[in-house]
């Protein structure tokens, strides 16, 4: 269908284009003029008696030439303007460029066309200028929108940290990034130009009244439509062919991503003896999920009773989510399921999903499951009405209130009138659970409910899940958060590459893991060798640092009067809840955050606040490892190429030396050479974290700042990275600043800990003391293994 459409388009486009290009040569000398609208010649005569066929041959060129030049001119002006607006860090430049364009977009284009054309002398050049001017604002906006995330994203910041050349940052990275967007859009722009040129000619703007132009012919010969329809119909048809053909050929925007939905697999036989576990609510036997070339889940069996919590643990990609989808009876395109699932005595397949309401699913981002534009009360009432169609409004209200109370959410009217985006992440999670409770769910699946959350939130989630289980609901918890699993699970199922390698009661699996993979997953971080005692002379120090964020024109203080110091070869951990200013502190040290007062010094030398004003040796001395390793690489260049660049740019290494440094560092971080010659999208998350570390080391830094470097990695990968980081610190005598809210990371690496709350240092001290005998309640809540004894502080 799509091929056919493109082929039709090509044929349609070929006729008018061929005429436009070759027409003027074929036309020959002008013949004798005869009577208007006569039948002489192939297509008759026009309104002043010229041969229509000859006019048709002549009239295509102006439309095509004007439209092409106008489109090119618009891109020539619009793309640089859009890039400038996106790249500038001065707000007023952006405003100055974009506001007038917004204004121009607010005027209908035909009106603008008429006004502009009336003010300028007619002629093809004027027409080109005007059509380009009309197309300009949209092109500028698209360019700016595409370039903006690239110009200020982590990859750009990483490049600025090693002062990458303009050529590689601009055309190399941003240019490649926006190329696809602009190309996809060019077709639409050209059609717009043809449309405007033809319409302008038709209205007599910018062309001579008797010009040989298809659109002018349509206009002028209209009066003779009854006498000699060819003189109008042929040019009109040619214009239509040109526009339609071009749109059909370049149609990328409207590309249909038709995924052939796989035929529902035959319902698996459910002859499995149910007597096996008569009281099991959920029974899964030999569940397998395969795609065309891969096995996602391979023969997983388990059963679960009402009121029990099963934790499914495993590294990312081990098949946890695929298993959950199968339990929901949902089809992921291209995946085939086999095996049997029985829920409450009823088979579950993709063809017969579980009874609506019986299985609740809390996704990793609970907000995604909530209707974004309806008040939460309306949706709750809708679910209640669906469950008990006859109930009165008052009864429904009571049911809703009771359910909200069960998940510890407010029940007042004001709360019910909120929209989901006005709730916190924790409230959204509990609201999704409330939906499931209202629908009388017997099984609840929670997907990574604590990823990226701090210890306090984790306790709240644990309490919530335990409460649900006590109320008789079976819970399946997909997680690699072992603290949560320890706190709540009755049963544990360990998945490894789609296969169940171990399962059993939680206490047994946690105490005596049998499978090697489980042992790896559960292994406590190896004890650190004691730090060599050295005179503590501070290398990096931060004094009276304050910083603010600009939030829609208003300044919001993020850091207030922060002081800290780290000795050479030591590791400082900065901990705190999300939003406490940890990352801003790290960015200030690296010179990435613009507005701040106070100062950062390295070995007694005061550093410039902005990284562009730091000399190369200072820039190279402090390097930063971004939270999202993938986003911090230029996706269009081989990884090894990028790893060598800091040496080349900051240490004046020759290309050979830089390449040698890169190879040496790859060995050091344990990445294979051939892996690193690929582009970043071919590397796994763990590999990219190693590559990011290698790149940060290439300039020979004295201070390494790691921002949540291991968040989102599974436990085994994380251990590898942490161990590597610790080795590097000792071998290279690096000073490391770690930003984290993860106790394991802190315990593994830190010599010294600083606790931030709302931009203020609330606690600091040696790691041993703070990890085990802290006094401040927030420190206890964040760092102690069993924070139940700590009173949760309020988080303003």
Partner 1 sequence: MSLPRYAAGRLLLGLGQVAGITTIVFVLTEALPGDAAVVIAGDHPDPARIAAIRAQLDLDQPAWQRYLDWLTDLLRGDLGVSLISQRPIVERLADSAAATLLLAAVTLLVLVPLAVALGMLAARREGGRLDRVVSAVSVALYAVPEFALAILLIAVFGVQLGWLPPTAFGADLLARPAVLVLPLLVLLARPICTISRLTRAGMLDALRGEHVRHARRLGITGSRLWLRHALPGALAPVVQQLARTTDWLLGGVIVVEAVFVIPGLGTALVDAVSTRDIPTVQALCVLVAVTTVVVNLVADLVAFRLAPRTGVVR
Q: Which positions from 71 through 110 interact with partner 1, judged by CB under 8 A?
A: 100, 102-103, 106-108, 110
Asked if 450 and 458 touch (Cβ cutoff 8 Å), the reply is yes
Structure tokens at 388: 């008990």
Q: Tell me whether residue 172 or residue 363 sits nearer to partner 1 (CB atom).
A: 363
- Nearest distance, CB of residue 419 and partner 1, angstroms: 7
Q: Is 222 in the site for partner 1 (CB under 8 A)?
A: yes
Per-residue contact track with partner 1, 754 to 793, x per CB under 8 A?
----------------------------------------
Q: Which of 24, 77, 195, 730 binds partner 1 (CB under 8 A)?
A: 195
349 backbone φψ class: left, alpha, beta (φ>0; ψ -120 to 50): beta
Q: Tell me whether residue 364 or residue 723 sits nearer to partner 1 (CB atom).
A: 364
Q: Which of 32, 90, 111, 269 binds partner 1 (CB under 8 A)?
A: 111
Q: Tell me whether residue 157 or residue 355 sits nearer to partner 1 (CB atom).
A: 355
Core vs surface per residue 24-37: b (16+ CB within 10 A) or e: eeebeeeeeebebb
Q: Tell me whether residue 421 or residue 773 sits nearer to partner 1 (CB atom).
A: 421
- Nearest distance, CB of residue 356 and partner 1, angstroms: 3
Q: Is 473 in the site for partner 1 (CB under 8 A)?
A: no
Q: At what angle do helices 425-438 and 455-470 cross, to 10 degrees?
A: 10
Q: Tell me whether residue 331 or residue 585 sits nearer to partner 1 (CB atom).
A: 331
Q: Tell me whether residue 374 or residue 613 sits nearer to partner 1 (CB atom).
A: 374
| Cα 362 to Cα 372: distance, rounded to the nearest angstrom | 16
- Nearest distance, CB of residue 85 and partner 1, angstroms: 18
Which of the residues 385 through 424 are near partner 1 (CB under 8 A)? 386-387, 419-424
Tell me the backbone φ, ψ of residue 574, rounded to 5 degrees. -105, 115
Pick the piece of the chain touching partner 1 (CB under 8 A) from 54-62, 371-379, 543-551, 677-685.
371-379
- Nearest distance, CB of residue 139 and partner 1, angstroms: 17
Q: Tell me whether residue 126 or residue 642 sits nearer to partner 1 (CB atom).
A: 126
- Nearest distance, CB of residue 783 and partner 1, angstroms: 22
Asked if 379 and 419 touch (Cβ cutoff 8 Å), the reply is no
- Nearest distance, CB of residue 322 and partner 1, angstroms: 16
Element (H, E) at 728: helix 715-732
| Cα 47 to Cα 217: distance, rounded to the nearest angstrom | 9
Q: Tell me whether residue 114 or residue 565 sits nearer to partner 1 (CB atom).
A: 114
Per-residue contact track with partner 1, 305 to 334, x per CB under 8 A?
-----------------------x-x----
Q: Is 450 in the site for partner 1 (CB under 8 A)?
A: no
Farthest CA pair distance, the chain: 108
Q: Tell me whether residue 556 or residue 775 sits nearer to partner 1 (CB atom).
A: 556
Strand, helix or coil at 537? coil
- Helices marked H in 287-374: 320-327
| Cα 328 to Cα 369: distance, rounded to the nearest angstrom | 14
Pick the piece of the chain touching partner 1 (CB under 8 A) from 139-147, 197-205, 459-467, 762-770.
197-205
Pick the piece of the chain touching partner 1 (CB under 8 A) from 117-125, 728-736, 753-761, 786-794.
117-125
- Nearest distance, CB of residue 23 and partner 1, angstroms: 18
Count of positions on this chain that bind partner 1 (CB under 8 A): 83
Q: For 696-720, what is the HEC assignment? A: HHCCCCCEEEEECCCCCCCHHHHHH
Q: Is 180 in the site for partner 1 (CB under 8 A)?
A: no
Q: Which of 132, 146, 158, 383 binds partner 1 (CB under 8 A)?
A: 383
Pick the piece of the chain touching partner 1 (CB under 8 A) from 292-300, 362-370, 634-642, 669-677.
362-370
| Cα 738 to Cα 216: distance, rounded to the nearest angstrom | 71
| Cα 424 to Cα 51: distance, rounded to the nearest angstrom | 74
Q: Is 265 in the site for partner 1 (CB under 8 A)?
A: no
Q: Which of 90, 209, 258, 731 binds partner 1 (CB under 8 A)?
A: 258
Q: For 66-106, what is the HEC assignment? A: HHHHHHHHHHHHHHHHHHHHHHCCCHHHHHHHHHHHHHHHC
Residue by residue, DSSP assigns 232-274 as HHHHHHHHHHHHHHHHHHH--TT------PPPPPPPPP--S-G
- Nearest distance, CB of residue 740 and partner 1, angstroms: 19
- Nearest distance, CB of residue 760 and partner 1, angstroms: 17
| Cα 93 to Cα 84: distance, rounded to the nearest angstrom | 8
Q: Tell me whether residue 360 or residue 397 sits nearer to partner 1 (CB atom).
A: 360
Q: Is 219 in the site for partner 1 (CB under 8 A)?
A: yes
| Cα 779 to Cα 399: distance, rounded to the nearest angstrom | 40
136: number of Cβ within 10 Å: 22
Which one-letter DSSP state was computed for residue 369? G
Q: Is 65 in the site for partner 1 (CB under 8 A)?
A: no
Pick the piece of the chain touching partner 1 (CB under 8 A) from 381-389, 409-417, 615-623, 693-701.
381-389
Q: Tell me whether residue 371 or residue 775 sits nearer to partner 1 (CB atom).
A: 371
Q: Round the CA-based radius of gyration of the chain to a whole number and report it.
A: 34
| Cα 456 to Cα 555: distance, rounded to the nearest angstrom | 28
β-sheet with 499-505: strand ranges across: 359-362, 443-447, 474-478, 309-313, 491-496, 499-505
Q: Is 382 in the site for partner 1 (CB under 8 A)?
A: yes
| Cα 698 to Cα 693: distance, rounded to the nearest angstrom | 9
Q: Which of 27, 203, 716, 724 binds partner 1 (CB under 8 A)?
A: 203
Which of the residues 339 through 358 are near partner 1 (CB under 8 A)? 356-357
| Cα 694 to Cα 144: distance, rounded to the nearest angstrom | 32
Angstrom distances, CA of residue 146 to CA of 65, 66, 153, 157, 275: 29, 28, 12, 17, 60
Q: Is 223 in the site for partner 1 (CB under 8 A)?
A: no
| Cα 550 to Cα 344: distance, rounded to the nearest angstrom | 54
Q: Tell me whether residue 228 or residue 710 sits nearer to partner 1 (CB atom).
A: 228
> Regarding beta strands 359-362 and 443-447, do their DSSP bridges make them parallel or antiparallel, or are they unpaired?
parallel
> Regarding beta strands 752-757 and 571-575, do their DSSP bridges make them parallel or antiparallel, or are they unpaired?
parallel
Q: Is 218 in the site for partner 1 (CB under 8 A)?
A: yes
Q: Which of 140, 228, 247, 318 binds partner 1 (CB under 8 A)?
A: 247
- Nearest distance, CB of residue 132 and partner 1, angstroms: 17
Asked if 388 and 396 touch (Cβ cutoff 8 Å), the reply is yes
Pick the piece of the chain touching partner 1 (CB under 8 A) from 367-375, 450-458, 490-498, 605-613.
367-375
- Nearest distance, CB of residue 435 and partner 1, angstroms: 6
- Nearest distance, CB of residue 28 and partner 1, angstroms: 27
Asked if 358 and 343 touch (Cβ cutoff 8 Å), the reply is yes
Q: Which of 239, 304, 521, 653 binds partner 1 (CB under 8 A)?
A: 239
Q: Is 485 in the site for partner 1 (CB under 8 A)?
A: no
Asked if 693 and 726 touch (Cβ cutoff 8 Å), the reply is no
Q: Is 185 in the site for partner 1 (CB under 8 A)?
A: no
Which of the residues 418 through 447 are near partner 1 (CB under 8 A)? 419-425, 428, 432, 435-436, 438-439
Q: Is 631 in the site for partner 1 (CB under 8 A)?
A: no
Q: At what angle do helices 154-161 and 124-152 cross, to 10 degrees?
A: 70
């Amino acid at each position: 269908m799509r091929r056919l459409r493109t082929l039709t388009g090509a044929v349609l486009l070929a006729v008018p284009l061929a005429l436009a290009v070759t027409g003027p040569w074929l036309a020959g000398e002008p013949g004798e003029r005869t009577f208007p609208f006569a039948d002489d010649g192939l297509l008759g005569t026009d309104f002043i008696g010229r041969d229509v066929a000859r006019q048709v041959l002549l009239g295509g060129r102006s439309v095509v030439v004007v439209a092409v030049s106008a489109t090119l001119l618009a891109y020539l002006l619009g793309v640089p303007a859009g890039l400038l607006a996106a790249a500038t860090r001065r707000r007023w430049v952006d405003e100055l460029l974009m506001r007038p364009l917004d204004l121009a977009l607010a005027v209908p284009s035909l009106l603008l066309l008429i006004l502009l054309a009336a003010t300028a002398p007619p002629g093809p050049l004027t027409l080109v200028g005007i059509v380009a001017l009309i197309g300009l604002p949209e092109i500028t906006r698209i360019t700016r929108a595409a370039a903006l995330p690239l110009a200020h994203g982590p990859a750009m910041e990483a490049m600025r940290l090693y002062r990458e050349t303009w050529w590689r940052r601009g055309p190399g990275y941003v240019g490649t990034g926006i190329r696809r967007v602009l190309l996809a859009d060019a077709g639409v722009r050209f059609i717009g130009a043809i449309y405007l040129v033809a319409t302008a000619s038709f209205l007599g703007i910018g062309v001579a009244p008797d010009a040989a132009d298809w659109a002018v012919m349509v206009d002028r010969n209209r009066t003779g439509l009854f006498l000699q329809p060819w003189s109008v119909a042929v040019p009109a048809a040619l214009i239509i062919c040109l526009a339609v053909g071009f749109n059909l050929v370049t149609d990328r925007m409207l590309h249909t991503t038709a995924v052939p939905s796989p035929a529902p697999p035959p319902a698996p036989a459910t002859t499995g003896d149910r007597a096996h576990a008569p009281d099991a609510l959920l029974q899964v036997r030999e569940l397998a999920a395969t795609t065309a070339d891969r096995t996602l889940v391979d023969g997983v069996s388990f059963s679960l009773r009402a009121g029990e919590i099963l934790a499914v643990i495993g590294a990312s990609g081990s098949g946890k989510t695929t298993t959950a989808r199968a339990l929901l009876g949902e089809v992921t395109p291209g995946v085939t399921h086999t095996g049997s699932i029985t829920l409450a005595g009823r088979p579950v397949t993709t063809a017969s999903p579980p009874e609506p309401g019986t299985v609740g699913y809390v996704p990793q981002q609970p907000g995604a499951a909530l209707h974004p534009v309806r008040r939460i009360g309306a949706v709750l009432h809708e679910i209640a009405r669906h469950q008990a169609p006859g109930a009165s409004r008052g009864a429904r209200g009571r049911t809703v209130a009771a359910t909200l109370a069960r998940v510890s959410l407010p029940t007042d009217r004001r709360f019910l009138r909120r929209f989901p985006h006005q709730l916190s992440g924790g409230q959204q999670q509990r609201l999704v659970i409330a939906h499931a409770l209202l629908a009388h769910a017997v099984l609840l699946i929670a997907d990574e409910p604590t990823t990226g959350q701090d210890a306090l939130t984790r306790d709240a989630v644990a309490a919530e899940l335990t409460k649900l289980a006590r109320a008789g609901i079976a819970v399946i918890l997909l997680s690699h958060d072992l603290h949560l699993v320890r706190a709540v699970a009755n049963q544990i199922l360990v998945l490894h590459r789609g296969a169940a390698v171990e399962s059993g009661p939680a206490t047994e699996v946690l105490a005596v893991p049998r499978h090697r993979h489980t042992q790896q997953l559960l292994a406590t971080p190896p004890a650190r060798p004691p730090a060599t005692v050295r005179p503590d002379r501070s290398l990096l120090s931060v004094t009276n640092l304050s910083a603010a964020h600009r939030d829609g024109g208003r300044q919001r203080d993020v850091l207030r009067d922060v002081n800290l110091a780290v000795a050479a070869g030591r590791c400082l951990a900065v901990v705190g809840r999300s939003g406490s200013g940890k990352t801003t502190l790290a960015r200030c040290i690296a010179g990435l955050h613009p507005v701040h007062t106070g100062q950062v010094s390295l070995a007694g030398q005061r550093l410039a606040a902005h990284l562009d004003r730091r000399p190369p040796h200072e820039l190279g001395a402090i390097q930063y490892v971004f939270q999202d390793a993938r986003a911090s690489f230029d996706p269009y260049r081989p990884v090894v190429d990028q790893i060598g660049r800091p040496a080349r740019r900051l240490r004046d290494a020759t290309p050979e030396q830089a390449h040698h440094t890169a190879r040496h560092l790859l060995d050091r971080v344990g990445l294979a050479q051939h892996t690193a010659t690929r582009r970043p999208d071919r590397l796994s998350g763990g590999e990219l974290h190693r590559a990011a570390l290698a790149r940060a080391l290439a300039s020979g830094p004295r201070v390494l700042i790691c921002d949540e470097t291991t968040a989102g990695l599974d436990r085994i990968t994380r251990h590898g990275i942490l161990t590597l980081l610790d080795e590097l610190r000792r071998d290279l005598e690096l000073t490391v600043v770690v930003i984290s809210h993860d106790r394991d990371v802190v315990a593994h690496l830190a010599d010294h800990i600083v606790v931030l709350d709302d931009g203020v240092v609330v606690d600091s001290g040696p790691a041993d003391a703070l990890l085990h005998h802290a006094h401040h309640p927030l420190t206890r809540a964040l760092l102690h293994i069993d924070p139940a004894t700590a009173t949760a502080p309020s988080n303003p």
